[in-house]
A and B are shown apart, each in its own frame.
Chain A
Amino acid sequence: MEHFVVTDNLKISMIILYLSIFFIIFCSKVLQYFYKINVENLLVRMRSFLFIIIFFTIAFSFTKLIAIIFLAIISYLCLKEFLSLIPIRKTDRPALVFAYWSIPFQFYFVYINWGTMFYLFIPLYMFIMISTMMVISNNTKGFLKTLAVIQYGVMTTVYAIGYLAMISIIPFDYNLKGGSLGLLFYILVLAVSNDFFQMLFGKVFGKNKIMHNISPNKTWEGLFGGIICSSILSVIMGILLTPMSIVQSLFVGASLSIFGFLGDVTISAIKRDIGVKDTSSLIPGHGGILDRFDSLIYLAPLFFHYIAYICNVQIVRF
């Protein structure tokens, strides 16, 4: 039973996070009460946020096993949302069973620190198994399309989210300031606040649209505002919680901001293609869980790779 190491810096950061959420809720209540501005939407969002943060806090305050199971459940909910969106033929059902079974395997490999298997399980073994199961069901109509869609779904929702679990098992010696939880805190807060900054700057200054076919709310102003704010936040959190230097945190913050944006618009493009607004209605005010985790599909693997490079993390077992 391995517990997470919680450093003082992390405790302070958690308290600041909770206080800032309560502060925003308080401010919007004041706005609503005194200036009669309709902030019901923001309030619902913030309340959902508070619950998400409480869930995460509870899940990560016990052992590593419980935290990994929690992330596996999130991965399952994402995959279910993704597969519920796409048209599935009746003959694909055996392949879908394999897609769902990839989750326990993938997170088990994380739990036993089997790095190589974690890296290869979905790009290689699921790649083989899904197409094999589809060949066995002997239906060629729309074969390539469905095969690609299922593989993409498993890649985004299981492989990418799995990297969150991978970050959480980085040994404490590599990050004495915050431990693996500090790294996880860094990436989750950066992803969410990056979305928030981009939305804020887009609403206030937004004029020139990027990719207007995909999302009308994305603007150059929002993107650059997001990059600047995320870099500043990244430097603060980087010094407090990670082993990165100021220059490294600046670079990581700016590049993660861009890739978070790209992940966001990728999921938006998929939703646009299928023709839905939200992936589901699981989280009040946010849409589905995939809508909330959309920027993390690129951020989690990239950040893990950065950290593994910067700290020379060696947890690969062949």
Chain B
Amino acid sequence: MKFLCDLLKYLSFLILIKPFIYLVLGVNISGIKNLPKLDNQPAILVANHNSHIDTLILMSLFTCSQILKIHPLAAIDYFCKNKIFEFIFKTLIGIVPIKRKVTKSSATNMYSEVNKILQKNETIIIYPEGSRGNSSDIQSFKSGVAHIAQMNPNVPVIPIYINGPDRILPKGTLLWIPFIANVYVAEPIYYDNTSTKMFTEKIRSIVEQLKEEHRIKEEL
């Protein structure tokens, strides 16, 4: 069964999603050398979140066999509304459903699930903004990502800034319009034994820096 699901995910990216992202939409990537190789080495990808396309673009940066090892964390109340949605997102995208409302027990459950994935040498995608924001500014980051990094200090955290998907499919519409997206990948960082709050701020400042880099490049 696992093999069948992997095959489905592999084929859907190879035939549908990757051609769609690269040919229909188009992606400009800078800092592609900072992307992890993902062979026997997990990673935590952290990005700003404006649109559902973010996840598809981030996963399409990797090869199809690498994509099998990537699991985006996604809100259980949105993506697992019914059985069909749950099946589609779990098999084709490989999401890890988590609860948005945090209680003590759900938090420990979530962390143990994420740790299990990272120990299997698989990669997770986190959007620390917690939800899709508006395009103009990056909202404050939630500290969950820092807690995960604290529990796995050897796992690299890769901050990424994505610009463009908010024009393709903004929050609250179903109308897709093709645009070219820009992806900026920063160098990997590791948990630095300060506090989780400061580490969260550090990640956010790097993403802000990438955004500034994009703005300068746009204005030349």
A275 and B218 CA atoms in complex are apart in Å by 6
Select A80's contact among B170, B175, B178, beta carbons within 8 Å. B178
Q: DSSP class of B's interface residues: helix, strand, loop or mixed?
A: loop
A251 and B175 CA atoms in complex are apart in Å by 49
A282 contacts across to B, CB distance below 8 A: 26
A83-B179 in contact given A90-B170, A93-B173, A282-B26 (Cβ < 8 Å):
yes
**B26-A80 in contact (CB<8A):** yes
Q: Count of B residues near A, CB < 8 Å? A: 16
Q: DSSP class of A's interface residues: helix, strand, loop or mixed?
A: helix
Q: How far is the CB of B43 from chain A (nearest CB, A)?
A: 25
**B167-A80 in contact (CB<8A):** no
Q: Count of A residues near B, CB < 8 Å? A: 18
Interface residue A136 (Cβ < 8 Å from any Cβ of B): no
**B26-A275 in contact (CB<8A):** no
**B173-A277 in contact (CB<8A):** no
A293 and B219 CA atoms in complex are apart in Å by 23
B167 contacts across to A, CB distance below 8 A: 88
A97 and B170 CA atoms in complex are apart in Å by 15
B:1-50 near A, CB below 8 Å: 25-26, 28
A113 and B191 CA atoms in complex are apart in Å by 65
Q: How far is the CB of A287 from chain B (nearest CB, A)?
A: 11
Interface residue A38 (Cβ < 8 Å from any Cβ of B): no
A97-B177 in contact given A90-B170, A277-B220 (Cβ < 8 Å):
yes
**B173-A84 in contact (CB<8A):** no
Q: How far is the CB of A57 from chain B (nearest CB, A)?
A: 20
Contact with B along A15-44 (1 / 0, CB 8 A): 000000000000000000000000000000
A100 contacts across to B, CB distance below 8 A: 177-178
Contact with B along A267-287 (1 / 0, CB 8 A): 000000001110011100000
B180 contacts across to A, CB distance below 8 A: 80-81, 84, 280
A275 contacts across to B, CB distance below 8 A: 218-220
Q: How far is the CB of A278 from chain B (nearest CB, A)?
A: 10
Interface centre among B173, B177, B220 (most CB of A within 10 A): B177
A84-B164 in contact given A90-B170, A100-B177, A100-B178 (Cβ < 8 Å):
yes
A:64-101 near B, CB below 8 Å: 77, 80-81, 83-84, 88, 90, 93-94, 96-97, 100
* CB-nearest residue of chain A to B28: A281
A280-B170 in contact given A93-B177, A96-B177, A275-B218 (Cβ < 8 Å):
no
A97 contacts across to B, CB distance below 8 A: 175, 177
* Interface, chain B (partner A; CB < 8 A): 25-26, 28, 164, 167, 170, 173, 175, 177-180, 217-220
The 10 A-B residue pairs whose C-beta atoms are closest, nearest first, are A84-B180, A275-B220, A84-B179, A275-B219, A96-B177, A80-B178, A281-B28, A280-B180, A93-B177, A93-B175
Can you name 17 A-B residue pairings with CB atoms under 8 Å?
Answer: A80-B25, A80-B26, A80-B178, A83-B179, A84-B179, A84-B180, A90-B170, A93-B177, A94-B175, A97-B175, A97-B177, A100-B178, A275-B218, A275-B219, A276-B217, A276-B220, A280-B28
